[in-house]
Amino acid sequence: MDEGLDFAVKYPFSDSARKSLGDIQLTERIVELAVERIRKAVRGDDSARVVFHESDKREEIASFAAARMILGHLRNSYLTNRFAINESKIVRGRINKEDERTVDAVAAQFGIASAVENGMMLLDLPTYLRYSVRDPHYKLINRKLFSGRVEINAEEKKRLVEEAVKKHIERIPTVKDPPDIIKNAGKQLVAEIPKTEVRMTVKAGDHPPCVMRLLESLKNHENLPHHARWFLAAYTLAIGMGEDDIVKLFAGAPDFSEKITRYQVSHIKKKGYSVPSCATVMSYGLCCAVCRIGSPINWHTLEKGRKDAINAEADNAAKG
């Protein structure tokens, strides 16, 4: 289905957008727009650019394709994830203003086809699982199932579309030998990546496996769901990290906002929230080992005891 040029501009990943490009040539202007599109993502600016003339609309669509080409060449997870998140937020802002028919047209780009039966909006289980969000609210245990379909509402459908856009953009194919204009744009962007990414220095065994896994995700510029960030903030506060260091710890997250992160960390500290138990961490879907320690914060006490026992055994062996 071809929804037209205006639809293509707003949803540049759509079939209509691909058709509208036709034989448009890669120009310096298009690459400049692509670079600025990625820069906006790094800044977290999800405001949508407004264009009126047909030629400008085609350039805007082409800028999305050129941005993907740049990112496909760079293979930089930080830039790719920032871009994917920002573009998906722009799409969410747009579909929030659309009628139901248009929302369905955007959703159809990803095979998200819901049906209304007996007053319920239902989506087939495989599609739901493909685009469900890493949040307890979307876990199947908290959902109503009917004959292999999941009940959702209109807002949840939009959230699934937002996640589908993000995942689609994250899967950018590798571009091995692009034109020089793309290579030069890539070099320029890499040089502009914020250098404020400060991380904890950790080695194996410093923290429980669930925490190590979250730290590795941040190292790889991957997004963490809200409950994972809350858990990590509570844990790092409990082991004595300062608020400034914790804020810097999250700086590599693709959707990092210093203002929001600082507020949340300060709020957790002010309220004196305790580190969640292992059972709670498991309910979040963050448990990745059978530690049997009751709470992640117990890791340090038990690990210290283990090391003391090893050192004592070594001393006894040396004396004997």
pLDDT of residue 126: 95
Q: Is 197 exposed, middle or buried (0-12, 13-18, 19+ CB in 10 A)?
A: middle
What sections of 132-277 are H helices per DSSP? 154-170, 180-192, 209-219, 226-238, 243-249, 258-271
Give the angle 303-290-230 at the CA atoms, nearest 5°.
Answer: 80
The residue with tokens 């320029």 is 188
**Cβ distance 239 to 246 under 8 Å?**
no
Q: Is 317 exposed, middle or buried (0-12, 13-18, 19+ CB in 10 A)?
A: exposed
Domains of the chain (ranges plus CATH)? 5-188 (1.20.930), 209-311 (no CATH)
Tokens of 238: 């409990």
pLDDT of residue 203: 65
Tokens of 246: 């914790």
pLDDT of residue 190: 87
Cα–Cα distance measured from residue 126 to residue 191, given in angstroms and rounded to the nearest whole number: 41
Residues 6+ apart with CB under 8 A from 80: 71, 74, 169, 170, 172
Per-residue pLDDT tens listing for the chain (320 residues):
446 899 999 999 999 999 888 778 899 999 999 999 999 998 888 888 888 898 899 999 999 999 999 999 998 888 998 999 999 999 999 999 999 999 999 999 999 999 999 899 999 999 999 999 878 788 888 899 998 999 999 999 999 999 999 999 999 999 989 999 999 999 999 888 765 444 555 666 788 899 988 988 887 777 788 889 999 999 999 988 888 888 888 877 777 778 888 999 999 999 889 899 999 988 888 888 888 888 988 887 776 555 554 454 545 555 55
Residue in 235, 226, 224 with CA at minimum distance from that of residue 200: 235
Dihedral (Cα; 225, 222, 46, 18), 10-degree rounding? -120
Tokens of 50: 């407004």
DSSP state letter for 148? T
